[in-house]
Amino acid sequence: MTKPLSDKVLGLKPSGIRKFFDIVSEMKDAISLGVGEPDFDTPWHIRDEGIYALERGRTFYTSNAGLKELRQEISNYISRTQGINYSSDSEILVTVGGSEAIDIGLRALINPGDEVIIPQPSYVSYEPCAILANAKPVIINLKEENEFRLKPEELLNVITDKTKVLILPYPNNPTGAIMERKDLETIAKIIREKDLYVMSDEIYSALTYKNQHISIAALNGMKERTILINGFSKAYAMTGWRLGYACAPKEIISQMTKIHQYAIMCAPTTSQYAAVDALKNGDKDVEQMRQAYNQRRRFLMNAFKEMKLECFEPYGAFYVFPSIKKFGMTSEEFATRFLMEEKVAVVPGTAFGNCGEGFLRISYAYSIDNLKIAMERLNRFVTKLR
């Protein structure tokens, strides 16, 4: 073939993390702290429900929007955790992971040339999804001194006539930052005044270690302009089940559903049956996992303190984001040398945006025993550098 492929797709940057982890998988005795998914197995009762669905022959498509019963349980869940009421008939769409919801949500909102504001460091999919939806991504470089929270002046600085959507990625991957009610209020005020949409990616909402997570959609006048995205991967350790959802006003959900039905049809049926059980009977499991993550988070923060590695205290997700600026190396150099010399893989902060320079993402979706070995090696490494 000589005809060129899509310019837009060719123009997308390949992921910076990939080559790194290809080395790790080849390396003997290497420890990875790079993975962004829970180390826990899906709780047995949820898996059992999936097996049962298969046994009963529930192997057909579900409705495009997802099992009615699952949408009802999602509605109940958001109502009991956030106090927001979404109609299970018209305001909830079950998707293939939160990532599908990001993609089709942006596609449903964007006209060519619209601007999408993306605070970084953040999950790597927002920017390519915005570009594929013909939007112009506008980046906000979040600051460590603000604990990587989005500040109103930072938002105001980048809003133009073309601004359409703000992506709000909290609790945040890779920084572990959260937004508290007072932070959200200041942002919501601007969103209402400037008449913008918000895409609130709350996939880590169950994993916070200070106060309970608050959705921006719960604030006055915000439900009508917010796409709330969540899913089962992080809270219930269900990454491989590929199941997420979007909650939004019915005008938006109905357009998202069109894309979903033509591109995907429906989310996996087995996963949907299992997810019903997760929402009905999974609170205890989530709390147990949250407690374990919190212990590991404290363990890492203490280890950093002892080796005098600077790190703001993160209160969400399962990542810490220490600063390595003092060592006079780029994040990538640091991560590469650390991998080669101590056989521990961490992700350079730059994988999540240019402003991640000078930071590392360390995941604590690993057992304490693993983290202990890794911290011994990190201590040895930074001592050598000093």
Partner 1 sequence: MREELLAILEKNSRIDFKELAILLGVSEEQVLAEISALEKEGIICGYHTLINWEKTSIEKVNALIEVKVTPQRGQGFDRIAERIYNYPEVKAVYLISGSYDLLVTLEEKTLKEIANFVSDKLSTLESVLSTATHFILKKYKDHGTIINQNRTDDREVITP
Query: Kind of pairing, strands 92-95 and 344-345?
Result: unpaired
Instruction: In whole angstroms, give the CA distance from residue 254 to residue 248.
Output: 9
Task: Report in angstroms how near the CB of residue 39 gets to partner 1 at its nearest.
Answer: 7
Q: Are 36 and 172 in contact (CB under 8 A)?
A: no
Interface stretch with partner 1, choices 29-37, 271-279, 315-323, 353-361 (CB under 8 A)? 29-37
- Report 282-301 residues binding partner 1 (CB under 8 A): 291, 294-295, 298-299
What is the SS3 assignment for 165? strand
Residue by residue, DSSP assigns 189-202 as HHHHHTT-EEEEE-
Task: Tell me the site size for partner 1, rule CB under 8 A.
Answer: 21
Closest distance of CB 27 from partner 1, Å: 12
Q: Is the dihedral of CA 348, 350, 355, 358 positive or negative?
A: positive
Using the rule CB under 8 A, is 211 a contact of partner 1?
A: no
Is 299 or 381 the residue whose CB approaches partner 1 more closely?
299
- Binding of residue 25 to partner 1 (CB under 8 A): yes
Say whether residue 15 binds partner 1 (CB under 8 A): yes
At its nearest, how many Å lie between partner 1 and the CB of residue 293? 11
Q: Is 18 in the site for partner 1 (CB under 8 A)?
A: yes
Give which of 168, 169, 167, 160 is closest to 113, Cα–Cα. Answer: 160
Q: Provide the minimum distance between the beta carbon of 74 and partner 1 in the complex, in angstroms, as a whole number.
A: 25
Is 6 a binding residue for partner 1 by CB under 8 A? The answer is: no
Q: Which one of 37, 180, 357, 376 is in contact with partner 1 (CB under 8 A)?
A: 37
124 touches partner 1 (CB under 8 A): yes
Site for partner 1 contains 24 (CB under 8 A): yes
Per-residue binding string, partner 1, 235-274, x by CB under 8 A, is ----------------------------------------
Query: Does residue 207 bind partner 1 (CB under 8 A)?
Result: no
Nearest CB to partner 1, comparing residues 66 and 97:
97
- In this structure, are residues 86 and 94 in contact, taking their beta carbons and an 8 Å threshold? no
Other Cβ atoms less than 10 A from the Cβ of 89: the count is 13
φ, ψ (nearest 5 deg) of residue 342:
-120, 0
* Helix, strand, coil share of the chain (percent; to 5): 45, 15, 40
Put the strands of the sheet holding 115-120 in their side by side order: 92-95, 244-247, 226-231, 197-201, 163-168, 115-120, 136-141
Q: Which is nearer to partner 1, 156 or 368 (CB)?
A: 368
Which spans of this chain sit near partner 1 (rule: CB under 8 A)? 15, 17-18, 21-22, 24-25, 35-37, 39, 123-125, 291, 294-295, 298-299, 302, 368
